[in-house]
């Protein structure tokens, strides 16, 4: 009769076992730091750029699968141009003098176009959060900022399409460029730069509020007074004193005046520097807040 001399493992032995199929991890050697969580390690610039490129392709393919998402970019410049030229133009420049108003309002609409397209970023980010897309990105070994930067890059592309259509409509209605092509491109670039800075605000709203409808509603509540309380549609000199003061400090007025000077000619140094200052300040304040909120929200 044989006797089994094998001793059964004690509870402490079982707790410290690292069987291949158990999923338990062996303790880290003394003096060695544990590995950082997935996606939280330091990511180099080259890797970060690759991540942004891949995410940009993902967003572009998403637009390709849903062409209706481009309707606002394609139709909004046409509707806005016709609406403001033929509704406001007669009241401001006199009936039958809408052609004079085109040279005033088209540069201003460049500023308005960037802001309205920027607003769509916030609703898109909020929708991705609700669908769990952001949680998936959070689990990947990529920089958190690359997810948000990729969205901004794609929206800048959409913005360039909208501004091209806007200028095309302006030329069709009699817009005259009194400067040069370089200055026209500078006006477009300045409008896109300011619009890109506003995207960080809307991304922050999209990550903070609960629904896309809330993001859109709050954005419209803020944007409407900024748009109409500016020099985009009418000269501030026709406004009451208190509103004229507000208009002077409105960043959209600075952008509209800068774009107007770049296309129609005139003094532009102050308005250009003010616009660049606003864009830098908005980005420096809201971009870190948006990235930090993205880390916590997802």
**pTM of the full predicted structure?**
0.79
- Report the C-alpha gap between 231 and 106 in whole angstroms: 12
Q: What are the φ/ψ torsions at residue 196 (nearest 5 degrees)?
A: -65, -35
Least confident of 2-6, 74-78, 173-177: 2-6
Given pLDDT bands bounded at 50, 70 and 90, which one contains residue 168?
very high
Q: CA 240, CA 228: separation in Å to the nearest integer?
A: 13
By C-alpha distance, which of 114, 122, 244 is closest to 190? 114
Which of these ranges, 80-84, 92-96, 184-188, 267-271, has the smallest mean pLDDT? 92-96
- What is the per-residue pLDDT for 4? 47
Confidence grade of residue 98 (pLDDT, cut at 50, 70, 90)? confident
Burial class (CB in 10 A: 0-12, 13-18, 19+), 155: buried
Residue 188 in contact with residue 141, Cβ under 8 Å? Answer: no
* pLDDT tens-place string over residues 177-232: 999 999 999 999 999 999 999 999 999 998 898 888 898 889 888 888 888 889 89
Average pLDDT score over residue span 68-81: 89
Residue 270 tokens read as 């102050």
Q: Tell me the C-alpha distance between 81 and 179, whole Å.
A: 21
Q: What is the mean pLDDT of residues 276-282?
A: 95
Distances (CA, A) of 60 to 56, 108, 276: 6, 29, 28
pLDDT at position 145 over 90: no
Report pLDDT for 184. Answer: 93
Contacts of 149 (CB under 8 A, 6+ apart): 52
């Amino acid at each position: 009769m044989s006797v089994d001399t094998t001793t059964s493992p004690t509870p402490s032995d079982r707790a410290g076992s690292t069987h291949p199929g158990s999923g338990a991890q062996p303790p880290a050697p003394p003096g060695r730091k544990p590995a950082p969580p997935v996606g939280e390690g330091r990511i180099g610039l080259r890797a970060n750029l690759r991540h942004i490129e891949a995410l940009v392709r993902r967003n572009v393919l998403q637009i390709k699968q849903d062409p209706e998402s481009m309707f606002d970019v394609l139709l909004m410049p046409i509707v806005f141009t016709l609406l403001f030229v033929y509704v406001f133009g007669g009241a401001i420049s006199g009936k039958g003098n809408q052609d004079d108003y085109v040279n005033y309002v088209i540069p201003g609409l460049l500023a308005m176009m960037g802001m309205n397209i920027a607003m769509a970023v916030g609703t898109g980010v909020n929708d991705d959060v609700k669908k769990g897309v952001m949680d998936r990105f959070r689990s990947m070994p990529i920089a958190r900022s690359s997810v948000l930067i990729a969205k901004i890059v794609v929206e800048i592309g959409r913005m360039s399409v909208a501004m091209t259509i806007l200028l095309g409509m302006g030329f069709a209605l009699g817009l005259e460029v009194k400067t040069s092509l370089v200055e026209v491109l500078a006006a477009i670039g300045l409008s896109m730069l300011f619009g890109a800075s506003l995207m960080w605000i809307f991304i922050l709203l999209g990550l903070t509020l609960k629904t896309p409808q809330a993001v859109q509603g709050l954005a419209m509540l803020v944007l409407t007074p900024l748009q109409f309380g500016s020099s985009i549609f009418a000269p501030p000199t026709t406004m009451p004193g208190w509103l004229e003061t507000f208009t002077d400090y409105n960043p959209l007025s600075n952008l509209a005046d800068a774009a107007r000077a770049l296309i129609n000619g005139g003094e532009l140094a102050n308005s250009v520097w003010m616009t660049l200052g606003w864009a830098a300040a908005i980005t420096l304040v809201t971009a870190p807040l948006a990235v930090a909120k993205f880390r916590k929200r997802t």
